[in-house]
Amino acid sequence: MLAPVGLRLDPNRAVSSLSVGEQQLVEIARGLARECRVLILDEPTATLNRREVAQLFGILRRICDQGRAVLFISHRLDEVEEIADRITVLRDGVTTVRGAARGTLTVSDIVKAMVGHEVDVNELDLPPVGPTLLRMRGGGLRNAFSDADLELHRSEILGIVGLIGSGALELGAALTGAVSLDSGSIELAGQRLLLKNRRTALKAGIGLIPPDRETEGMFPTLSVADNALASAFHQISSFGWLRAAAGRALLAPWMTRLALSPNDPKRNVAALSGGNQQKLLVIRALIIMKKRILVGIEPTRGVDVAAREIIHNALADAARAGLAVVVVSSDLEELLVLCHRVIVVRKGCIVAEVPRGHGAGRILQELAGAAA
């Protein structure tokens, strides 16, 4: 079962010990072993390197030669053009191109079918960008990204986007100390900064909104106040003792500002809705004194429209107050609304920088790795 997908592994080995790409190939091997007549692959190359992609495509061609069919779902237009006989495009649940033969559509045709007319988004009024605050030079993280150069300015909202496995999430995390660079350097306000962990990042004034509130953000057995103040205990303590009154005074205006409901700091955080839990993570990042940078990784994941607007306004207000804000998001509309510019990450490399006003089509083209 494993040989056809190029895996030479001990079948008794735990899957958790495999690389993400190897795990993907194991899933494909399972599908092939069922003697299926139709194999459906949803973003199968998102976690594979180029060698593994070429290997997979060879397998898919052999499957088709045997009379079986493959449904290949992907945002990577260069791969779709390489492997697909016919192309169907869906947008918002509606088929916009049905079974077009390969070669009959240009990349521009496909992108237009994916995006449609430019989305009429209500862009937030953003402040002018200030001087450079942070620089990354030659940043690298094993199996994630390499040779990353970027600058971040005061009062700027910088977007980072990439498909699953592109390295975009890890790049954002590296700016917060959540992961440590294997190579390269980071300078903050002209001084070399060693981000060993979140503690060193907090001391430097770097806040983080983590991507998964349930597994990485919330302390589910603690109160709203304890969760919101978890990164600011040093601000409300004296000689190792927390000052409850100081904590309430620090938290109260933020709860009102982000419309936390119910407005009860003693309430158990598990009793809040998902949207209010997400707003609480934003409060935790904003409540830090002497903060200079705020990084939000999927900051509005799983929230309703009202909570989304509140969080967007809070991030824009942070930029107006002089913070540098980074938004790592897979939501193109969010990036168009919020960001001064968007960095596109593909296969571990920063491949483009898209200024505000250039629309989703340009970003999609860069994500797909194809020019119009």
118 band by pLDDT with thresholds 50, 70 and 90: very low
Any domain includes 141:
yes
Return the pLDDT at 49. Answer: 63
Digit-coded pLDDT (tens) for 128-171: 999 999 999 999 999 899 999 999 999 999 999 987 778 999 99
Here the CATH number for the domain that contains residue 282 is 3.40.50.300
**Widest pairwise Cα distance in the chain:** 74
Q: Are residues 96 and 145 in the same domain?
A: no
Return the pLDDT at 20. Answer: 66
What is the DSSP annotation of 190-243? TEE----SHHHHHHTTEEEE-S-IIIII--TTSBHHHHHTTT-GGGGEETTEE-
Q: Which residues contact 120 (CB under 8 A, 6 or more apart)?
A: none
Any domain includes 310:
yes
Q: Which of 152, 69, 105 is nearest to 328 (CA)?
A: 152
Return the pLDDT at 228. Answer: 87
Digit-coded pLDDT (tens) for 27-86: 888 888 887 889 898 878 766 666 778 888 888 898 899 898 999 988 777 788 889 999
Q: Are residues 103 and 151 in the same domain?
A: no
| Domain range for 107 | 3-115
**Whole-number percent of the chain with pLDDT over 90:** 41
Q: Are residues 110 and 250 in the same domain?
A: no
Region of 103 (left: φ > 0; alpha: ψ -120 to 50; beta: rest) is left
Any domain includes 122:
no
CA-based end-to-end distance of the chain = 40
Digit-coded pLDDT (tens) for 305-343: 778 889 999 999 999 999 999 999 988 888 988 999 999
- In whole angstroms, give the CA distance from residue 128 to residue 246: 34
Any domain includes 124:
no
Return the pLDDT at 247. Answer: 83
Q: Which of 304, 298, 332, 302 is nearest to 315 (CA)?
A: 298
Digit-coded pLDDT (tens) for 172-221: 999 999 999 999 999 999 999 988 898 899 889 999 998 888 778 889 89
Q: Are residues 357 and 218 in the same domain?
A: yes
Q: Which of 3, 23, 1 is nearest to 13 (CA)?
A: 23
